[in-house]
Amino acid sequence: MTSRMNDGRSRRRIGVTATTGLLVLGLTACSGTGGASSGLDGDTLTMYTWVGGKADKQQWADYIAGGEQADPSMSVSFSGPPIGDYYTKLPTVMRSNSAPCLVTFQNGRVNPYVEGLEPLDELVQDNKLDLSAYSSAMLEQLSVDDELYALPFNAGPTVILYNKQMFKDAGVAEPTNGWTTDEFIAAAKATTKDGVYGFAIGQGSNPISTLMAADGHPYADEDGPLLDDPNFHDALQLLVDLANVHKVAKPLEAAAGGTFPDIDAFNTGQAAMEMQGLWDLQHAQESLGEENVGIAVIPSENGQSKGFIGGSGFGITKTCGDKQQAFEAIAAMTSKAGLDEVTKSQASVPARLDSLDAWSANVGSPEFTEVIRQMTGDATPSPVPPNQSQLDTLLTQYEVEAFSGQRTVAEVLEQVKAGLAQ
């Protein structure tokens, strides 16, 4: 008898609590913006970034170690999803109640997220940070409407990575800093043999923007990619021709976003060349042997190649609880001392011009430095449009049809344009 009464009371209690919870959730589910100040774990700043396997973890650990070298009081922890999911998750994370203080951006993909980012100009002034030491092209890419939103830490231009052994075996001279597109195609043809391709094509907009930049044409403006620009068409057409006409590259196939068939191919010896940011140099050296990897400028029509600067930066979220501390941290991580330290273990090119010497000493050879100097010295300014990630997704999906011959390049660009207009 009594047991039944107890059952009832405890059940009623559960019922009330649950109903209250229901109401709370229901009411709050519709309300607006994210939480109050946060992003700090005690004294440690939290950073949200792309974290896949060991290589990614090592990179961030190195940058943090570099920052601590420059400023021993700095304390930063990091977490995040694999790179394929990073940009899709970033807005939800920034809006959430556990938003971090620091976030990272590649290739200046800052635009879609400025609503959640703290503009840095005031902090720069208050902290008297000298911005002239940083690559101006990078600073531009990390700014929106003349407001700076992130401090750059690496600023690798995209280069051609090539397999020296394959070039030697094919009897092809190594690329010079003035090589033309025709010479590039010839080299690719010579190294395409025995089931190995001369060149590996990457997905998305990067190869196109790089090729366009080499001839001095920006691929986008603040409103969006210049899909109607004949140079855009020609760049994509060149990639398609490399696969279908010159037969020096594997045609692109449908693939999930965030995969890198070109890196896979080059690092496993399936292709003699790839177009990649310098951040991949270390991985390539580990896979193919340090002596075996060479870098070259991007081939251009007239032999006077201009660089396409990519790279990454650290930003501060609007919801960060201690923005001054956050600024000090990113300033430390991008300081000369910090970046010099990083060059001891990471091969990506620092975004500071005064760290290039440390980079040459620790990573590169004189020939590398020459390439870098040309690419960074004479770069085509390339603003990153706000719909960059949609552009990449749509291009990755639709360019496959150009490679399979189902559509012309013009039709593919029309499809991309239609998709972006949504």
Partner 1 sequence: MTFVSIDRAEGEVTGGSVTRPDRPRGRPRRRPLGGPRWVGWAFVLPGLVGLVVFIVVPQLASLVLGFSDSTVLGGTEFTGWENYARLFRDPQFLNSVLVTAIFVLVYVPANIAISLAMAMWLQTRIAGRSWLRVIFLIPALSPMVANAAVFRLLFQQDGAVNQALAAIGLAPIPWLSDGNWALAVVIGVSLWQSFGYNMIVLGAGLDSISPDVIAASRIDGAGRFRRLFSITLPLVSPALFFTTVLTVIGAWSTFAQAYVITGGGPGNSTMTIMLYLYQTAFSNNQLGYASAIATVLFVIIAIFTLFQLWGQKKWVHYD
Partner 2 sequence: MTDHRLVTPGTRRRHRGRALGFAANTTVAWLFALVFSFPLIWTFFTALKPANEVFGAEIRFIGSKVLWSNFADAWVEVDFGRLLMNSLVVAAVSTLLTLLVATLTAFAFARLRFPGRSAVFVLFIITLTLPSEVAVVPLFLGFDQARLADTWIALIIPGLFGAFGAFLLRQFMLQIPAELEEAARLDGASTWRILVSVIVPLVRPAMSVLAIFSFLGSWNSFLWPLIILNSSDKWTIPIGIAGFTTQTGTQWELLMAACVMTIAPVVIVVAVAQRQLVAAIGAGAFGGR
| Interface stretch with partner 1, choices 26-34, 127-135, 156-164, 222-230 (CB under 8 A) | 26-34
Q: Does 401 bind partner 1 (CB under 8 A)?
A: yes
Nearest distance, CB of residue 55 and partner 2, angstroms: 5
**Residue 418 contact partner, candidates partner 1, partner 2, none, CB within 5 to 8 A by sort of partner:** partner 1
Interface with partner 2 in residues 392-411 (CB under 8 A): none
CB 284 within 8 A of CB 193: no
Nearer to partner 1, 94 or 138 (CB): 94
**Non-local CB neighbours of 93 within 8 Å, separated by 6+ positions:** 48, 99, 100
Per CB under 8 A, the list member of 9, 146, 194, 421 interacting with partner 2 is: 194
Q: Does 283 bind partner 2 (CB under 8 A)?
A: yes
User: Taking CB under 8 A as the rule, which mask of x and - marks residues 148-187 in contact with partner 2?
Assistant: ----------------------------------------
| Interface stretch with partner 2, choices 135-143, 178-186, 274-282, 313-321 (CB under 8 A) | 274-282
Nearest distance, CB of residue 195 and partner 1, angstroms: 8
Per CB under 8 A, the list member of 58, 73, 79, 92 interacting with partner 1 is: 92
Q: Does 109 bind partner 1 (CB under 8 A)?
A: no
Per CB under 8 A, the list member of 270, 389, 390, 408 interacting with partner 2 is: 270
Per CB under 8 A, the list member of 48, 63, 78, 87 interacting with partner 1 is: 87
Q: Does 267 bind partner 2 (CB under 8 A)?
A: yes
Nearest distance, CB of residue 409 and partner 2, angstroms: 27
Per CB under 8 A, the list member of 48, 113, 149, 167 interacting with partner 2 is: 48
Nearer to partner 2, 21 or 377 (CB): 21
Full 3-state SS string of the chain: CHHHHHHHHHHHHHHHHHHHHHHHHHHHHCCCCCCCCECEECCEEEEECCCCCHHHHHHHHHHHHHHHHHCCCCCEEEECCCHHHHHHHHHHHHHCCCCCCEEEEECCCCHHHHHHECCCHHHHHHCCCCHHHECHHHHHHCEECCEECEEEEECCEEEEEEEHHHHHHHCCCCCCCCCEHHHHHHHHHHHCECCEEEEECCCCCHHHHHHHHHCCCCCEECCEECCCCHHHHHHHHHHHHHHHCCCCECCCCCCCCCCCHHHHHHHCCCEEEEEEEHHHHHHHHHHHCHHHEEEECCCECCCCCCECECCEEEEEECCECCHHHHHHHHHHHCCHHHHHHHCCCCCCCECEHHHHHHHHHHCCCHHHHHHHHHHHHCECCCCCCCCHHHHHHHHHHHHHHHHCCCCCHHHHHHHHHHHHCC
Q: Does 230 bind partner 1 (CB under 8 A)?
A: no
Nearer to partner 2, 93 or 295 (CB): 93
What number of chain residues touch partner 1 (CB under 8 A)? 52
- Give the interface with partner 1 as residue ranges (CB under 8 A): 4, 7-8, 11-12, 14-15, 18-19, 21-22, 25-26, 29-30, 32-33, 87-89, 91-92, 94-95, 112-113, 115-116, 250-257, 389-390, 393, 396-398, 400-401, 403-404, 406-407, 415, 418-419, 422
